[in-house]
Amino acid sequence: MDLIPLGAGIGAGLAVIGGALGIGRLAAAACEGTARQPEAAGLIRTNMLIAAGMIEGATLFAIVLCLLLKFVK
């Protein structure tokens, strides 16, 4: 029995869960920071979007690697 597709599926799922948790924590911290310092909302939002994009990029990279493992032996 070939376990590579199973491992690729589990890896992709873990990558998505990790990315979602990271972006969720990031958004919560940005909301808290904006509530504490409303005058810095623009800078906080900009930094949040940059960090969210980097997290999403790393998650997409991990998913692509998992799919490559699944289809390329």
Instruction: Name the residue range of residue 54's domain.
Output: 4-64
The pTM of this model reads 0.85
The answer to whether residue 70 sits within a structural domain is no
For residue 37, what is the DSSP state?
A: -
Q: How confident is the model at residue 4 (pLDDT cuts 50, 70, 90)?
A: confident
For residue 40, what is the DSSP state?
A: G
What are the tens digits of pLDDT across the range 16-73? 999 999 999 999 999 999 999 999 999 999 999 999 999 999 999 999 999 898 888 6
Q: How many domains does the chain have?
A: 1
Q: Kindly report the CATH number assigned to the domain that includes residue 20.
A: 1.20.20.10
Distance of alpha carbon 65 from alpha carbon 11, whole angstroms: 9
The answer to whether residue 24 sits within a structural domain is yes
